[in-house]
């Protein structure tokens, strides 16, 4: 009798633990989707949209070979949590309704496959990012903010048109390496992070760093920050925690201004 009771208690305990884990996963999934929808609204607010181009993805916390992404043809400015698509690494939409952007799949699936430490990736055809990308150069450490990318971004030089082949996505994932960003030459910027928050923030501040350097070079000859100081500053402003924290005010404001994104 005692063993039967013990088994019952143990089974109940296992069930409770399993339910708690499922609740935790569901909570984390919702959080990631909310951050993703908010990031897309932020991109729209900041003018990073260009027709149907641009996409942000976040890895599913349970099915790690799946990611959530914005559907093609839905404006960043109108994106809601309920609009998001869940996609596997074979390109199948397993949840949600809408069109899957072929370039989003070709690029993001390969980044998520090659870099298990990457939770989220962001890309769009923002004005200053694509302008800077045409130069085929890394950003220089001209400002405190641009130091976040010092020693932590790369240039992908092999532009061949719209990325629809996963082999091209493999090349981009390889060029990214262990950096937080890659400049896609003649194309635009792509940033990644351990959270959607981080990936979105890196994109926002990288776009502004491109703008600042373009303006500085148009005005004269900028004076770069020394290697020692740039490297030290990168440790202060370029960490995962710094990227995550810098996003929080943007999230608070966009949710307050546009609460329907959480629908």
Domains of the chain: 25-262 (3.40.225.10)
Q: Is the pLDDT of residue 6 over 50?
A: no
Cross-strand partners of 155: 183
Number of H helices, E strands in the chain: 7, 8
How many whole angstroms separate alpha carbon 85 and alpha carbon 67?
8
Burial class (CB in 10 A: 0-12, 13-18, 19+), 158: exposed
Q: Specify the pLDDT at position 8.
A: 39
Q: Is the pLDDT of residue 204 over 50?
A: yes
Over the chain, what is the mean pLDDT?
A: 93
Residues 6+ apart with CB under 8 A from 153: 138, 139, 179, 180, 181, 182, 183, 206
In this prediction the pTM is 0.91
162: left (phi over 0), alpha (psi -120 to 50) or beta: beta
Q: Helix 196-219 and helix 240-257: axis angle, to 10°?
A: 100
How many whole angstroms separate alpha carbon 140 and alpha carbon 192?
19
User: What is the tens place of the pLDDT at every residue in 68-88?
Assistant: 999 999 999 999 999 999 999
- C-alpha distance from residue 70 to each of 112, 220, 231 (Å): 16, 40, 35
How many whole angstroms separate alpha carbon 173 and alpha carbon 179?
10
Query: Residue 175: what are its φ and ψ, rounded to 5°?
Result: -65, -35
User: What is the tens place of the pLDDT at every residue in 15-52?
Assistant: 556 677 777 999 999 999 999 999 999 999 999 999 99
User: What is the tens place of the pLDDT at every residue in 130-177?
Assistant: 999 999 999 999 999 999 999 999 999 988 878 878 999 999 999 999
Q: Specify the pLDDT at position 15.
A: 59
Q: Which carries the bigger pLDDT value, residue 216 or residue 2? A: 216
Q: Is the pLDDT of residue 2 over 50?
A: no
């Amino acid at each position: 009798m005692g063993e039967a009771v013990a088994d019952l208690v143990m089974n109940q305990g296992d069930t409770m633990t399993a339910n708690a884990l499922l609740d935790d996963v569901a909570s984390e999934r919702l959080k990631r989707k909310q951050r993703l929808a908010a990031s897309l609204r932020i991109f729209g607010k900041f003018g990073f949209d260009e027709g149907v181009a641009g996409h942000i993805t976040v890895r599913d916390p349970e099915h790690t070979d799946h990611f959530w992404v914005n559907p093609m043809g839905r404006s960043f400015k109108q994106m809601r949590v309920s609009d998001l698509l869940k996609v596997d690494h074979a390109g199948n939409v397993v949840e949600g309704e809408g069109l899957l952007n072929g370039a989003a799949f070709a690029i993001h699936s390969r980044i998520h496959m090659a870099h298990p430490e990457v939770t989220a990736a962001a890309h769009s055809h923002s004005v200053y990012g694509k302008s800077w990308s045409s130069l085929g150069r890394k950003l220089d450490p001209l400002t405190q903010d641009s130091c976040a990318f010092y020693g932590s971004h790369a240039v992908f030089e092999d532009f061949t048109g719209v990325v629809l082949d996963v082999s091209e996505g493999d090349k981009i994932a390889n060029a990214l390496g262990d950096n937080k960003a890659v400049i896609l030459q003649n194309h635009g910027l792509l940033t990644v992070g351990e959270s959607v928050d981080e990936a979105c923030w890196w994109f926002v501040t990288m776009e502004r760093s491109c703008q600042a350097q373009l303006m500085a070079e148009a005005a004269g000859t900028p004076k770069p920050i020394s290697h020692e100081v740039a490297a030290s500053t990168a440790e202060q402003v370029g960490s995962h925690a710094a990227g995550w924290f810098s996003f929080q005010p943007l999230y608070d404001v966009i949710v307050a201004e546009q609460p329907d994104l959480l629908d």
